[in-house]
Amino acid sequence: MTPGTRHKVIGTFDDITSSTPEKSLLAPLKNSGGRNNSGKMTVRYIGGGHKKMYRVIDFKRDKDTMAATVKTIEYDPNRSARIALLAYPDGEKRYMLAPNGLKVGQVVSTGAGAAPEVGNTLFLADIPLGTVVHNIELYPGQGAAMARSAGTYAQLLAREGKFAIIKLPSGETRMVLVTCRATIGAVSNPDHSLESHGKAGRRRWLGRRPRNRGVTMNPVDHPMGGGEGRSSGGHPRSRKGLLAKGYKTRNPKKTTSKFIVSGRKK
């Protein structure tokens, strides 16, 4: 025990079966340090961190003609969930987000004829009601956009005409076209929310720099800055003056609002 490990809580990595990624599915990943194309810092508190390679993930799961075998379950430094390497009979290899309970050697398939089992990707029209799903598309053929983080899942509640009603991890209930795809099961690594870095250095390894509060700044730097001694800073707001703690920032005229049946839980 050292002061750095006293409060550290991290995963056991028991589910990982390979420490070497598939070379053909790697791509270079350049760190921006929070700077834009002209070198100006546009996002604060980003910089440093360990070098990483991007793992090309198949979020579309559109290879309907053949089933694939799970070769390995791997760690991905770019996301909180685990990834699985799929090998197809024609020799092609692809990465997918590993659902909870997926094992090496398991066969997964996609498309209209697939069974509603963990790891299989089906159209929302073919998934039984009440099923737990993840990797949900918002538009047909776009690729998964919702419920991709570690331990998350959504639930298929109902179908009405050409829309399916899905309860999302945020608590929001939303309509999605039944021609969109989703993967059966919940995302792997559900204990990710219990992790604690234990020391500031571990955050630096991840590329996250120290973040100081608006209250500690001067009035020229933040609306909550300034004051004599330790002042509260007034009403919580962002650096640009946008109110926090309950102020609605979603545009009421947004076209996709008609697909939201009920909002997320407050």
- In tens, the pLDDT along 149-198 reads 999 999 999 999 999 999 999 999 999 999 999 999 999 999 999 999 99
Domains and CATH numbers, the chain: 23-121+138-151+182-192 (2.40.50.140)
Look-up of token digits 């639930």: 155
> Under a CB-based contact definition with an 8 Å cutoff, are residues 69 and 86 in contact?
yes
* CA–CA distances in Å: residue 186 to residues 60, 114, 134, 189: 17, 18, 6, 9
Going by pLDDT thresholds of 50, 70 and 90, the confidence category of residue 246 is confident
The answer to whether residue 136 scores a pLDDT higher than 80 is yes
Mean residue pLDDT of the chain comes to 95
Percent of the chain with pLDDT over 90: 93
Give the CA angle between residues 97, 174, 180 to the nearest 5°. Answer: 50
Cα–Cα dist 146/152, whole Å:
9
> From the CB of residue 48, how many other CB atoms can be counted at a distance below 10 Å?
13
Cα–Cα dist 255/101, whole Å:
38
Residue type, 75: Y
> From the CB of residue 260, how many other CB atoms can be counted at a distance below 10 Å?
15
Residue type, 248: K
Q: Is the dihedral of CA 89, 90, 94, 97 positive or negative?
A: negative
- In tens, the pLDDT along 77-92 reads 999 999 999 999 999 9
Query: In which element (H, E) is residue 204 found?
Result: helix 200-205
